[in-house]
């Protein structure tokens, strides 16, 4: 390949990033960008592919950030649309002529993108998957991960996700594609380990948007909806090419991230999200369904619409955006408590690897990781992160500092009144199961169930159970030692909603109903809705959640 061609490909692959990033891309980043630019992002993961066995097919439309209410309204308001035509008229509550909307289905905690999709594609909660958020710190590896960066502005892990299966490699449990063991294609999703074929647009479309998202775009020049729509449209174009070349697999995932990215920055987030579903996603769904119909397999296909979380409108200002950088922010609390904070970068230079605390942001939640400072008391000394922090000397001072900051503004004036809960726990070695988080009341830890008995919080759905799934288990240490939950939710006035990120018009990650109630709809064109419901309900049970998607798909694929 000539030098001029390489430079042209680099320009295509890096796109606007070259102009927007504060420094030049790394050699590794450019190499990966060239790899995706030259291949179009499409990758054969198994050679040969699994044989195309007989049996029903499953087509999963993964709708990032489209909550249950927004999906239902968007479809009902668009009676001439492709989704409405597939489902057919409503035949009762949650029932359609050819489909069933699983009632009350909940996300995991945090209700945020990468953690939720990791649970969708495994059927396991974060304390078992090892993927607890959009970004996290693995103390056993002394490594910070940011496949969907929030507190850091770095492209490398986003590229690694598309080129090297970063999230799949981080998972500690089997994926849907490994468990189902049928020919599987995946379009653009974070998790594709075990699939046969992966399609994605060039990284200039996907990675740049995800990295610039971390910067916070409220207050910047208007962001056109078409910027995000192009990502979803390009993804479907690549998918349809793959179907034309290789045929229709038993299992196909179609991931739409653009709707989530757009909702974060839209001035009227929920209304504009519904319009995006009607005007952008519905035609794309129609193109895929048409391809299945032309191939003669649509009547033999279960079609699922699943989302990872909803969205809660928030104020896009300094007061409510608890960012990672600046004065009077959460990071300030740690530094004023005497902790050396890990620099807010994906990779840290050797002289700065003496950090004693790490933060990772998840919108409504923030994880704080603490070292045993007895292993690194002096600047320049690296901490032993395999050892758990001490309660009295390491965890308790931080829990108290955040509790005081929330009550009085001490240590960070902007944090006064921003937190709903400060959770903490005594540390354990990473070789042991992490214990559940407990509520810190300013002096002591209280089991969450006991706290909720004394102070019921019906607005925070299944809080105790979902916090257990986040923090208690073999990978629970990846959710930190102190966990902060902001005040948020549609139940509160807009002026009382806070979030850990830059400036946005909406965020998510909380246990509130708006963030937690997800789209979970099952349809099949040649089946009555009652029949679809009878197949679905025994699998999802009375407390449905994203953890039931993988078991349901396996059941549907095995149906005869």
CB 117 within 8 A of CB 555: no
Specify the DSSP class assigned to residue 509: B
Q: Report whether pLDDT(225) > 60.
A: yes
Q: Report whether pLDDT(169) > 80.
A: yes
Per-residue pLDDT tens for 231-290? 899 999 999 999 999 999 999 999 999 999 999 999 999 999 999 999 999 999 999 999
61-78: b or e for each residue (b if 16 or more CB lie within 10 Å)?
Answer: bbbbbbbbbbbbbbbeeb
**Calpha distance 139→481 (Å, rounded):** 11
- Measuring CA to CA, which residue among 464, 509, 554 is closest to residue 109? 509
Domain boundaries, the chain: 3-131+151-310+518-558, 330-513
Average pLDDT of span 304-332: 93
Selected from 3.40.309.10, 3.40.640.10, 3.60.21.10, 3.40.720.10, the CATH number assigned to the domain covering 3-131+151-310+518-558 reads 3.40.720.10
Question: Could you tell me the pLDDT band of residue 2, with boundaries at 50, 70 and 90?
Answer: very low
Q: Report whether pLDDT(458) > 90.
A: yes
Tell me the CB-side half-sphere exposure of residue 195, using CA atoms within 13 A.
27
Q: Report whether pLDDT(22) > 50.
A: no
CB 132 within 8 A of CB 2: no
Lowest mean pLDDT among 26-35, 84-93, 468-477: 26-35
Structural tokens at position 414: 């902007």
**Calpha distance 492→263 (Å, rounded):** 20
Specify the DSSP class assigned to residue 374: G
pLDDT of residue 222: 46
What is the CA angle 507-234-102, rounded to 5?
50
Could you tell me how many helices (H) and strands (E) the chain has, helices first?
A: 22, 20
Q: Report whether pLDDT(463) > 50.
A: yes
Residue 479: is the preceding peptide bond cis (ω within 30°)?
A: no
**Calpha distance 498→485 (Å, rounded):** 9
**Calpha distance 548→530 (Å, rounded):** 19
CA distances from 382 to 27, 152, 331, 355 (A): 28, 22, 20, 7
Structural tokens at position 389: 């922090």
Specify the DSSP class assigned to residue 259: H
pLDDT of residue 206: 62
pLDDT of residue 227: 81
Cβ partners under 8 Å of residue 285, min gap 6? 61, 82, 83, 86
pLDDT of residue 201: 82
Question: Could you tell me the pLDDT band of residue 71, with boundaries at 50, 70 and 90?
Answer: very high
3-state secondary structure at position 189: coil
pLDDT of residue 15: 29
pLDDT of residue 64: 97
Per-residue pLDDT tens for 31-63? 444 444 444 568 999 999 999 999 999 999 999
Tell me the CB-side half-sphere exposure of residue 495, using CA atoms within 13 A.
0
Residue 488: is the preceding peptide bond cis (ω within 30°)?
A: no
Structural tokens at position 497: 């909603």
Statement: the pTM of the whole predicted model exceeds 0.75: yes
- Measuring CA to CA, which residue among 17, 214, 126, 62 is closest to residue 521? 62
**Calpha distance 83→77 (Å, rounded):** 11
Pairing of strands 95-96, 365-370: unpaired
CB 127 within 8 A of CB 436: no
Q: Report whether pLDDT(442) > 70.
A: yes
CB 288 within 8 A of CB 58: no
Phi, psi of 532 (to 5 degrees): -60, -45
Q: Report whether pLDDT(327) > 90.
A: no
CB 516 within 8 A of CB 435: no
Cβ partners under 8 Å of residue 3, min gap 6? none
CB 161 within 8 A of CB 146: no
């Amino acid at each position: 390949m000539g030098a001029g061609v390489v430079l042209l490909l680099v320009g295509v692959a890096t796109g606007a990033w070259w102009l927007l990033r504060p420094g030049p891309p790394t050699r590794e980043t450019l190499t990966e960008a060239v790899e995706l630019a030259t291949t179009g992002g499409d990758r054969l993961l198994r050679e040969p592919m699994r044989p195309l066995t007989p049996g029903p097919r499953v087509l999963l439309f993964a709708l990032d950030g489209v909550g249950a209410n927004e999906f239902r309204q968007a479809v009902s308001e668009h009676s001439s649309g492709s989704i409405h035509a597939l489902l057919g008229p409503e035949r009762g509550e949650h029932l359609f002529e050819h489909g069933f909307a699983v009632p009350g289905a909940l996300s995991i905690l945090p209700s945020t993108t990468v953690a939720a999709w990791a649970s969708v594609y495994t059927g396991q909660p974060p304390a078992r998957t090892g993927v607890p958020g959009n970004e996290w710190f693995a103390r056993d590896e002394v490594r910070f991960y940011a496949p969907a960066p929030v507190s850091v502005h770095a492209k490398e892990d986003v590229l690694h996700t598309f080129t090297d299966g970063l999230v799949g490699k981080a998972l500690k449990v089997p994926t849907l594609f490994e468990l189902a063991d049928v020919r599987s294609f995946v379009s653009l999703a974070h998790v594709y380990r075990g699939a046969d074929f992966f399609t994605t647009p060039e990284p200039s479309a996907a990675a740049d948007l995800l990295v610039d998202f971390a910067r916070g775009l409220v207050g910047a020049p208007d962001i056109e909806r078409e910027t995000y729509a192009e990502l979803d449209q390009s993804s479907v174009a690549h998918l349809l090419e793959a179907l034309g070349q290789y045929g229709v697999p038993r299992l196909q995932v179609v991931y739409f991230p653009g709707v989530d990215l757009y909702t974060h920055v839209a001035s009227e987030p929920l209304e504009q999200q519904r319009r995006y579903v009607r005007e952008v996603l519905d035609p794309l769904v129609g193109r895929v369904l048409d391809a299945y119909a032309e191939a003669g397999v649509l009547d033999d296909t279960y079609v699922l619409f699943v989302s990872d979380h909803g969205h809660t409108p928030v104020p896009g200002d300094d007061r409510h955006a608890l960012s990672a950088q600046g004065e009077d922010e959460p990071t300030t609390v740690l530094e004023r408590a005497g902790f050396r904070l890990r620099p807010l970068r994906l990779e840290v230079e050797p002289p700065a690897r003496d950090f004693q605390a790490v933060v990772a942001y998840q919108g409504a939640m923030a994880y704080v990781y603490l070292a045993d400072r007895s292993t690194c008391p002096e600047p320049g000394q690296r901490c032993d992160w395999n050892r758990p922090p001490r309660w009295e000397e390491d965890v308790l001072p931080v829990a108290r500092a955040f509790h005081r900051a929330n009550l009085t503004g001490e240590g960070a004036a902007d944090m006064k009144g921003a937190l709903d809960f400060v959770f903490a726990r005594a540390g354990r070695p990473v070789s042991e199961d992490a214990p559940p988080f407990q509520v810190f009341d300013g002096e002591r830890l209280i089991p969450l169930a006991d706290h909720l008995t004394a102070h019921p919080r019906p607005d925070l759905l299944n809080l105790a159970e979902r916090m257990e799934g986040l923090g208690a288990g073999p990978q629970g240490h990846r959710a930190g030692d102190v966990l902060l939950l902001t005040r948020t939710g549609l139940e509160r006035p807009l002026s009382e909603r806070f979030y850990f990120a830059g400036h946005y018009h909406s965020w998510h990650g909380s246990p509130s109903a708006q963030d937690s109630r997800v789209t979970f709809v099952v349809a099949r064109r040649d089946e009555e809705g009652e029949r679809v419901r009878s197949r679905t309900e025994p699998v999802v049970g009375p407390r449905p959640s994203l953890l039931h998607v993988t078991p349901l798909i396996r059941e549907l694929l095995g149906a005869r």
